Structure 1
């Protein structure tokens, strides 16, 4: 089975900062605090879209960030919430945390959604910090940062199109010229030959998967060459593109080659032999191919098969071939997606330690770090007595002062709090 893999970085939007504002209306010059809350940051959401077949687009762009929340405003007006960023993925996509390798989601159903990076919560405005003893707070709360992480998307792929033909007829060259990108594939260890997979892009949201099937030679149905495992894969493709060397330069007759390959397919599986085919006459840049073409055309017409002349080496006819395949696939209809049952999906919180505060001593330095304390520092106006008191109150309430004292800190010593240096006094 082929595995299409993409690694991307996702980040939820940051929450907007709360506002510091006061009512300054006519006849009410000493109005109270009126700073509004900041808006929440947008989430990054994965959504299943049945119209998408591959993870191709995630290899062109790898960083995705949702919109930040708007800052709070005066008159207790809340900031606007940041827009969610919705990333469309094919059905059957498995989502893993890149750092741990743990599966966090298995997206199979149409329209199914999963929040892969939550936006930060908006900060509270100064109106929320007013109390009976602190009636005019000159500080507000900073917005939280959005979650961010690297994730790995994996998709089990079935090729839409199987590329068949004798060795050296130009299949690998055709695949490399037709396809924009090649996802990683699973190796088949029958021989030194490896199936190659490519994605042919038609438009922004339209593509199909084509597999070059090397080594399909006489005897494949009894295990010669790639053998049964890969032929079973080919059996699930929707269309065969049968490439023949129209020049016959290697001493083989192109029409005879065509019948031998089809006979091999029929021996392995009548179902495979009955699949729709497009026949492609390659190496049309050579004079021998142009001489043989009328005879090949006459035979394919007799069989009722579409024949397309190309030159993989010069790219002649490739555009016509690409759209002929696409039109044929639309005519055949969509395949059933591969649904893999994933056991023990761990829907854990990525930022499970986001509320953790670390208090430590390294050498003679005292260090305090953690998201909650960084947010507190960003929310504090150190020139305002009320704001400073609030900072000290939170530090004591969280037990940070007690922990520093347990580590042996003395009055006047320096403590580094999230990159800022403070002098400690109990």
Structure 2
């Protein structure tokens, strides 16, 4: 049993948007504790963004809380399927936001794991792909090292952070079912906010395909959207202060961690993560945390910051650091992201501050800007971290990460007292 630390309740981080635009949540009373409401900075398709409090993406959270949220969903899937079907299941998570959530669900289910990716790999032929309806970056690739990773006849478990319409899930099921029909899918998310029409559309599609689709979510509800939301939100965004200013003062030192990463262990689920990989990582985590701990000596408020799709290993490192350093040290976890969101430094809004920096992993789509939210303290000194551990893979450890006033490392140096850079090997799949 994973012990979930007590997290002090906080004011609902959706009040700012509700007061100005009339958006609101309906359904489960648990929803305000799981999500806040923010505004997308540059998305003509959709004005609002649901910001999870337990995903570990935009809002720093205790790593055990993040991991346990996914593990509990995985256990519920196991109960739903029964031991025989659960033993044949495979889990597929969505990049970039749900890569660690999907991996944590796979932990709870005890299943192999793969997540979609937006990073093509030379020489690796995609097994497939699909589109995400409301994202600003829509193409998802499937790049398992084993071409038969998704070819079994057991259930496929699809994991995303939220169901808003269900169209992304439907796109995925249609694409995968066309190549490899299977009798059962299970769709998993932290929150299910679909309308009755959305639910009917997914049920009709399942009947059309001749398959079964079950759903598991932590909380169910909806979002009330005013008819004139988009133009009013765009007007509000146009007049808002982007809040990208950094504190004055000398930059913090940067120390590079030397981690004894296990040979042959993938740094995530981009190319598949097997049960054997899981055992290897669990064995290695205590020593990896012990190697990091001396670089954080004397610091009591520490953020472990992952990198876009690279969420799961930084999450688990953060959790092991919390064990190693003890209860007197406050460890939180979040990651950088592609998603442009309006920051507002107000307690009733979930994205208080933003660091905007150049993409530093030579993205194939030539996109240029990335973001780290709630890392800078803003107007509240109690939110300041006195050390930040940035975890990236080798492909992201480029001059663009280090050099220039807007480089992520240079900005992190302005908002903390110590920066530790941990670089993991970029796993290269074996190709024929």
- What is the TM-score when the length of structure 1 is the normalising length? 0.19
Greater Rg by CA:
1
Query: Could you say which structure has the greater relative contact order, defined with CA pairs below 8 angstroms and 6 or more residues apart?
Result: 2
- What is the TM-score when the length of structure 2 is the normalising length? 0.19
